Amino acid sequence: MTERVVLAYSGGLDTSVCIGWIAEETGAEVVAVAVDVGQGGEDLDVIRKRALACGAVEAEVADAKEEFADEYCLPAIKANALYMDRYPLVSALSRPTIVKHLVAAAHKHGASTVAHGCTGKGNDQVRFEAGISSLAPDLKCIAPVRDYAMTRDKAIAFCEEKGLPIATSKKSPYSIDQNVFGRAVETGFLEDIWNAPIEDVYEYTENPATPREADEVVVTFEKGVPVALDGRPVTVLQAIQQLNDRAGAQGVGRIDMVEDRLVGIKSREVYESPGGIALITAHQELENVTVERELARYKRQVEQRWAELVYDGLWFSPLKRALDGFIDEASEHVSGDIRMTLHGGRAVVTGRRSQQSLYDFNLATYDSGDTFDQSMSKGFIELFGMSSKIAAKRDLAQ
Amino acid sequence: MTERVVLAYSGGLDTSVCIGWIAEETGAEVVAVAVDVGQGGEDLDVIRKRALACGAVEAEVADAKEEFADEYCLPAIKANALYMDRYPLVSALSRPTIVKHLVAAAHKHGASTVAHGCTGKGNDQVRFEAGISSLAPDLKCIAPVRDYAMTRDKAIAFCEEKGLPIATSKKSPYSIDQNVFGRAVETGFLEDIWNAPIEDVYEYTENPATPREADEVVVTFEKGVPVALDGRPVTVLQAIQQLNDRAGAQGVGRIDMVEDRLVGIKSREVYESPGGIALITAHQELENVTVERELARYKRQVEQRWAELVYDGLWFSPLKRALDGFIDEASEHVSGDIRMTLHGGRAVVTGRRSQQSLYDFNLATYDSGDTFDQSMSKGFIELFGMSSKIAAKRDLAQ
Amino acid sequence: MTERVVLAYSGGLDTSVCIGWIAEETGAEVVAVAVDVGQGGEDLDVIRKRALACGAVEAEVADAKEEFADEYCLPAIKANALYMDRYPLVSALSRPTIVKHLVAAAHKHGASTVAHGCTGKGNDQVRFEAGISSLAPDLKCIAPVRDYAMTRDKAIAFCEEKGLPIATSKKSPYSIDQNVFGRAVETGFLEDIWNAPIEDVYEYTENPATPREADEVVVTFEKGVPVALDGRPVTVLQAIQQLNDRAGAQGVGRIDMVEDRLVGIKSREVYESPGGIALITAHQELENVTVERELARYKRQVEQRWAELVYDGLWFSPLKRALDGFIDEASEHVSGDIRMTLHGGRAVVTGRRSQQSLYDFNLATYDSGDTFDQSMSKGFIELFGMSSKIAAKRDLAQ
Amino acid sequence: MTERVVLAYSGGLDTSVCIGWIAEETGAEVVAVAVDVGQGGEDLDVIRKRALACGAVEAEVADAKEEFADEYCLPAIKANALYMDRYPLVSALSRPTIVKHLVAAAHKHGASTVAHGCTGKGNDQVRFEAGISSLAPDLKCIAPVRDYAMTRDKAIAFCEEKGLPIATSKKSPYSIDQNVFGRAVETGFLEDIWNAPIEDVYEYTENPATPREADEVVVTFEKGVPVALDGRPVTVLQAIQQLNDRAGAQGVGRIDMVEDRLVGIKSREVYESPGGIALITAHQELENVTVERELARYKRQVEQRWAELVYDGLWFSPLKRALDGFIDEASEHVSGDIRMTLHGGRAVVTGRRSQQSLYDFNLATYDSGDTFDQSMSKGFIELFGMSSKIAAKRDLAQ
């Protein structure tokens, strides 16, 4: 029986060429798998038929948008996951979603190998391969661009030679990855890190500098999960999509940064994540209101490690599971409403209310009704500062 | 010889009354010390004379603005210090500055005690007293508002009874602390955390929503120190002041949050720190360009602990000194230029350039000239993911 | 109706006097509660009758040894909890156990206050009061020794005056707290930290220097829980008790250290925890075999924070619950056997075997059968060291 | 001009064969460099001559024992560096020492490449290559065993064929790496992790179970540096050597563990480090006495990361330098004497004294002379536990 290779298929030039290229390099049959995580573009059925037309023995397509939102974006929101305090992990979240479908297809079709279209210098190759080896340690991985030197020029030549039904017209100047949680853009002129992005780079967000009316939204969370916008129930997917529209219309969620890749180099990245940034902003402030101080302080460290792990492609790792154990417990009381103004590129919290609030007006107020016993403070300060004071006595004596 | 008490004096009603109040409570002579950390307001000499008029046996005033910027704000910039990822420690930085002057005055005037005007439910009492006990463990601390129940009503009555030369007109609705690094505002209507701030609350920043022309600035750093704006050399103080003006004019640096106080309660705080937020934003991105990945990842944890320590009043603690040892070493190569657009409430980095850059165009580019050896990646991924893969083999077998 | 105070009762002089002392100070009725966490000594019924004889309106006794082992010692074992890398939290674990019983009794008997016999300079007062306020925020706490200046001399005088049925003979030179997980000793001559402990100090352990035959034990764990010794099923309590005997007979588990108390001072402490140290030693090595590297590295930090929190009296805090969420997930595969030699004061692991082992002989061996693909290493090293290498290029160029 | 390769030369079979093997594989001239880090064995001059006899164009030998102790072992002592809380980094410390000499020799002899004798599945290859690329990013690295498949059998055949002056007698059953800081042993029968080590494995330590007289030693530190034993001044090297003898004679410093290698696998390792363990034990307790609590708590995390970094071969990395900045500051007051009993495999601290002590007898004592103000505690506990208490109020209400 012929070996089978499952290919992560996008419908574009590169992965369409991969179908035949892999067949030639390995002698295997290629099963194409396309996963919709909200990247937009063509109809899934069109993509499926193109895969078959390009030589795939089987082609599968899956609408994974709800799954992506519920199982991948939501944990990121609960973790306030911002790699390097900025980047909401857009691509890093979609890869494990896709991996799960690739592995399922490999099992179903008896494939021994999974292939993907990544280059050899990015993070996504790691996310694919580390993910696959954690869900199916016996599957092999290949990356034709990296392993078989399938350059773009060679791909175009292959495409034309074989008469594949794909346009090989001039490439977009932008290298783009997008899904419902956001959009990543790289491009030649941005590789000079002194150059500013131009408006042309952006698609999910309007220009924040354009004068327009502000939008106001109330996001309701239950145990860390966004469940309503302006009082209307939403799924996580809907929350992201609707806030993509509303926050995007106000220019919210643009990120331009120099980033530390897992492969050891620094790269310039431009991102848009209007829904992601709006939801994380709201979620952070609701935690400020509902999470106890020491838990909140420790959770920041957990969040950083969570974001690094997921950025680094270790979604399916034991440490990720244990950090989720912490985060789930910490999210138990993160319920309530956050009101935000969306305007001028910013999502600004203007109000919070929660049945789970730890903000106690009577303890906080400086007006009448204050119940805080200020006489406790002297003893507190004395013992809180005691170890520093004893050290100071020693140090000043010398 | 009569005991002496050094009082942290602001010139306002509360601390003016404290002079006589302390004298009556303790029988001690009161030495008033006013420290200018850029809070604005009256002339220092006016303040000095008022202290004497209110009964102080001595009155000292000090312009500590340069010292505050160089020795307190600068370390905070190098630490990207944002308590709860938001608050640039405005008041928490000024307290140790003032403490240093109080302790020096106590030594000079032979005082046994230091007094301050804080209440018993805030952070500042801890910052004063923990600071004092770390610089002069033998000094006692008193806080008349907390320890002698000196309420505002009683203070006004005392003032009128003694005929002190201070206006006792109706109190401002706002409780304000400000200095060159920023401004903190608390007030009755903001104690309802569902209420949004109104424009009246702000003084250092214009309304971000007002349409206006954007401003562009280039900040130059040397080893983490801001040394020039748009190519013109500046001191740290000038950098803060000029960016207060320029970023403030664009509405940059407003913060509205629920915050965890050291005394265990949550409080609503509104801050403005246009210069602080602009400088930290620029400094963070310059670190993204010039600091190696593992150092950068670890530094985030150090930054969090640094900010918590300083927020908690432990500026003069042994741990703070050791964290500074780390940060100083980490700042060695943080030199270069950051270009930012200031507009609509945001300071947005648009360009970076540095002789110390670790961004390597030839490794990062996807164009010709790429020197990254992609063949290294397969081995990297295999071993990087090995421990997770071995765990997966076990876990999936069960 | 008369107010009621629940008193943590030990049966000894101090808390027996507390019954009447509290009644006189507060006018309240005293309910005595004695909790057996394995401290040994008198029969619970004898203690109960003494409380009544000393004036308690009610007296309750509870055998909490199983509960203490299962709900307090076991989480500490799973956390490898060693405060300052040394102290297995003996007293810090028993306090929350006792607190739970005190709070239940307060609810049952309608008490408004809980009293304990701690001084005002130790950790246990914090553990009692922070624990009580977390389980029953409305209960008040009093500590007669601290709050009513009930010194030992005064207690003896009170005892004799009232004719209480307790011996007031000369106090032991040692201040001791003990339970099934270990024993803590403080004493005058050890307050000189240059003095070594003498054999007289120890009770749970024999002199390690005495020549004797070694003992060998195999401990079996299921998901972090010790379930068998030498193949014979045990409860957690039995595991601790039997290892107290066997490891104690070999002098295992003595600790002599200078320790950082929560109240800010350093103190000299001597501990014995033969069962605790033996179980943690075995558990750590089983984790080395069964826990994936990155999870293991992170868990060390979690363990440190867990131990500090529990030492600091925050057993019932939100952060403790979230850390337990992490640890429970991390313990999922910690199953297998550890063989140890107990001898000369040491518990030394000599063998491990586990169905959950991540040790892969074929990957580890240098003999034939090696399946590790060494060709992967070059690429791994290149990219693993890339960020340091790029930094080195810059740094060396200067 | 012929290319030159600098080879890390041990004098043994493998690296002796490497000289000719590399020459044949690469056509380059080989410069042999042997570095004495206290591994014992043959005279350096004998080794030098053998290298030349085996075909090296140049041979250099260096006594780096003092350098190794002062610049590599000492920072590890100050960091209390124990990988996985056990392993004092014996081999991980010697590699960067050797790397420094290799790089110096490469510069001196105009070599373009450095070669070492490591396999492709251990940590040492990473330590060599990451170290070299951080000191000389332009040098290439080769490892004949890994890169040219130089197996032991082939090496013996090569040796005999070329008539090299080395004995090719049957290999020791043990794979050993040793230096003045300790000794690492791997061997076939220990690859079964249920097997216990036998006495034959050990060389630096006597059997702890053998009855013998205890030894007592006083170690004096200045700012974290061991400067005297029993009052007699020593260099760091002498401190290690003398404690190797004295602690080794008592069986101190044996370690048997399953360890997480950087390349992703777990391996069984047996170590001996009598001097290292004795010095770290003493240093830790002196820190307990002289380092303020919060600094001490944070330093534990720094120590863990330091040990992981060095284990992982990143000695020359930017993060390592910054952590050293922290540790140096933290070591400022770590001066004083520690008395230890060495016996039965244990180094047990029995006394501490220090001019820098933060232990305050008058604060700690329960006897007369107590200066601790217990009335401070009530306020401290109230505010210390406040945030948990407020959370409890909420959580219990539900």
Distance, in Å, from the CA atom of B250 to the CA atom of B202, rounded to the nearest integer, reads: 13
pLDDT in tens, B61-99: 999 999 999 999 999 999 999 999 999 999 999 999 999
b/e per residue C345-364 (b: at least 16 CB within 10 A):
bbbbbbbbbbebbbbbeebb
Residue pair C272/C180 in contact by the 8 Å Cβ criterion: no
> A with B: how many residue pairs have Cβ under 8 Å apart?
289
Most confident stretch, C144-158, C354-368, D213-227: D213-227
Amino acid at D200: D
The alpha helices in chain B, defined as continuous H runs, are 13-26, 44-53, 65-68, 74-78, 90-109, 124-135, 144-147, 152-162, 236-248, 274-290, 293-311, 318-330, 361-364, 376-384, 386-396
pLDDT in tens, B288-319: 999 999 999 999 999 999 999 999 999 999 99
Residue C220 bridge partners (DSSP): C228, C337
pTM: 0.97
Identify the band that residue C77 occupies on the pLDDT scale cut at 50, 70 and 90.
Answer: very high
Distance, in Å, from the CA atom of D293 to the CA atom of A364, rounded to the nearest integer, reads: 30
Residue pair D265/D116 in contact by the 8 Å Cβ criterion: no
Distance, in Å, from the CA atom of A366 to the CA atom of B392, rounded to the nearest integer, reads: 56
| Residues 295-324 (C) with a CB less than 8 A from some CB of A | 295, 298-299, 301, 305, 309, 314, 317-319, 321-324
**Mean pLDDT value across chain D:** 95
Q: Among residues B25, B3, B12, B186, which one has the least CA distance to residue B106?
A: B3
At residue C170, the pLDDT reads 64
Subunits adjacent to chain C (3 or more Cβ pairs under 8 Å): A, B, D
Task: Label the pairing between strands B232-233 and B225-229.
Answer: antiparallel
Could B390 and C360 be called an inter-chain contact, meaning their C-beta atoms sit closer than 8 Å? yes
Could C380 and B380 be called an inter-chain contact, meaning their C-beta atoms sit closer than 8 Å? yes
At residue D364, the pLDDT reads 87
Amino acid at D302: V
Going by the annotation, the residues of the binding site of D for L-citrulline are 87, 123, 127, 175, 259, 271
Per-position DSSP letters for A309-336, written without gaps between them: HHHTT-TTSHHHHHHHHHHHHHTTT--E
Residue pair D396/C137 in contact by the 8 Å Cβ criterion: yes
At residue D1, the pLDDT reads 77
D350 inside 8 A of chain C by CB: yes
Residue intervals of chain D classified under CATH 3.90.1260.10 are: 175-291+333-353
* Residue in chain D lying closest to A362 (CA): D390
In this structure, how many other beta carbons lie within 10 angstroms of the beta carbon of residue C194? 11
> Is residue D175 among the annotated active site residues?
yes
Query: Diameter of chain A by CA atoms?
Result: 86
Q: What 3-state DSSP class applies to D10? A: coil
Residue A179 bridge partners (DSSP): A182
* Structure-token match 């909490």, residue found: C64
Distance, in Å, from the CA atom of A306 to the CA atom of A321, rounded to the nearest integer, reads: 10
What is the number of residues in chain D? 398
> Is residue A124 among the annotated active site residues?
yes
At residue A164, the pLDDT reads 93
* Predicted-complex ipTM score: 0.96
Q: Among residues D112, D116, D133, which one has the least CA distance to residue D124?
A: D116
Residue pair D272/D253 in contact by the 8 Å Cβ criterion: yes
* Structure-token match 């028993």, residue found: C94
Which residues on chain C are in Cβ contact (under 8 Å) with B292? Answer: 387-388, 390-391
Per-position DSSP letters for D141-206, written without gaps between them: EE-HHHHS---HHHHHHHHHHHT-SS--PPPPSEEEEEETTEEEEEEGGGGSTTSPP-GGG-SSS-
Residue pair D341/D214 in contact by the 8 Å Cβ criterion: yes
pLDDT in tens, B98-119: 999 999 999 999 999 999 999 9
How big is the CA angle at B140 (ends B135 and B142), to the nearest 5 degrees? 115
Distance, in Å, from the CA atom of C124 to the CA atom of C118, rounded to the nearest integer, reads: 6
Q: Is B148 labeled as ligand-binding? A: no
Going B62 to B63 to B64 to B70, the CA torsion angle's sign is: negative
DSSP at D61 = E
Residue intervals of chain A classified under CATH 1.20.5.470 are: 361-396
Task: Label the pairing between strands D4-8 and D29-36.
Answer: parallel
Q: Is B11 labeled as ligand-binding? A: yes
Q: Which CATH architecture group holds A4-171? A: 3-Layer(aba) Sandwich (3.40)
D210 inside 8 A of chain C by CB: no
Tokens of B374: 């992609």
Cα distances (angstroms) measured from residue B237 to each of B122, B123, B212, B253: 28, 25, 27, 17
Could C387 and B356 be called an inter-chain contact, meaning their C-beta atoms sit closer than 8 Å? no
Distance, in Å, from the CA atom of C101 to the CA atom of D390, rounded to the nearest integer, reads: 21
Task: Label the pairing between strands A182-187 and A174-179.
Answer: antiparallel
Cα distances (angstroms) measured from residue A260 to each of A380, B340, C337, C387: 43, 21, 42, 9
In this structure, how many other beta carbons lie within 10 angstroms of the beta carbon of residue A170? 6
At residue A167, the pLDDT reads 81
The CATH number of the structural domain formed by C175-291+333-353 is: 3.90.1260.10
Of A366-370, B392-396, C51-55, C147-151, the one with minimum mean pLDDT is: A366-370
Residue pair A39/A179 in contact by the 8 Å Cβ criterion: yes
The CATH number of the structural domain formed by D361-396 is: 1.20.5.470
Cα distances (angstroms) measured from residue D152 to each of A330, C222, D117, D208: 55, 42, 11, 35
Q: Among residues D179, D182, D178, D177, which one has the least CA distance to residue D275?
A: D182
Which residues on chain B are in Cβ contact (under 8 Å) with D266? Answer: 390
**Mean pLDDT value across chain C:** 95
Question: Does B44 score more than 90 pLDDT?
Answer: yes
Of B166-180, C146-160, D49-63, the one with minimum mean pLDDT is: B166-180
Residue C77 belongs to what H/E stretch?
helix C74-78
Q: Among residues C325, C280, C300, C72, which one has the least CA distance to residue C180?
A: C72
Question: Does C398 score more than 70 pLDDT?
Answer: no
pLDDT in tens, D123-162: 999 999 999 999 999 999 999 999 998 988 899 999 999 9
pLDDT in tens, D46-87: 999 999 999 999 999 999 999 999 999 999 999 999 999 999
Task: Label the pairing between strands C140-142 and C113-115.
Answer: parallel
Can you give the pLDDT of all 398 residues of chain A as single tens digits?
799 999 999 999 999 999 999 999 999 999 999 999 999 989 999 999 999 999 999 999 999 999 999 999 999 999 999 999 999 999 999 999 999 999 999 999 999 999 999 999 999 999 999 999 999 999 999 999 999 989 888 999 999 999 999 887 766 788 899 999 999 998 889 999 999 999 999 999 999 999 999 999 999 999 999 999 999 999 999 999 999 999 999 999 999 999 999 999 999 999 999 999 999 999 999 999 999 999 999 999 999 999 999 999 999 999 999 999 999 999 999 999 999 999 999 999 999 999 999 999 888 887 777 889 898 999 999 999 999 999 999 998 76
Residue B231 bridge partners (DSSP): none
| Section D207-227 average pLDDT | 98
In this structure, how many other beta carbons lie within 10 angstroms of the beta carbon of residue D61? 21
Question: Does C197 score more than 90 pLDDT?
Answer: yes
Q: Is C16 labeled as ligand-binding? A: yes
| Helices and strands of chain A, counted as H and E runs | 15, 14
Residue D153 belongs to what H/E stretch?
helix D152-162
Cα atoms found within 13 Å of the Cα of residue D396, Cβ hemisphere only:
15
Cα atoms found within 13 Å of the Cα of residue A241, Cβ hemisphere only:
14
At residue B170, the pLDDT reads 64
At residue A398, the pLDDT reads 67
Tokens of B96: 């140790």
pLDDT in tens, C238-282: 999 999 999 999 999 999 999 999 999 999 999 999 999 999 999
pLDDT in tens, D156-205: 999 999 999 988 776 678 889 999 999 999 888 999 999 999 999 999 99
Amino acid at A230: D
> Is residue B95 among the annotated active site residues?
yes
Distance, in Å, from the CA atom of C270 to the CA atom of C176, rounded to the nearest integer, reads: 10
C288 inside 8 A of chain B by CB: no
Amino acid at C371: T
- What is the distance of C-alpha C202 from the center of its chain? 17
| Residues 155-184 (B) with a CB less than 8 A from some CB of C | none
Q: Among residues A292, A290, A301, which one has the least CA distance to residue A80?
A: A301
Distance, in Å, from the CA atom of A83 to the CA atom of A89, rounded to the nearest integer, reads: 7
Residue to substitute from D260, D394, D395, D396, interface A, most A β-carbons within 10 A = D394
Residue intervals of chain B classified under CATH 3.40.50.620 are: 4-171
Q: What 3-state DSSP class applies to A343? A: strand
pLDDT in tens, B312-358: 999 999 999 999 999 999 999 999 999 999 999 999 999 999 999 99
Could D323 and B322 be called an inter-chain contact, meaning their C-beta atoms sit closer than 8 Å? no
SS3 content of chain C, % helix, strand, coil (to 5): 45, 20, 35
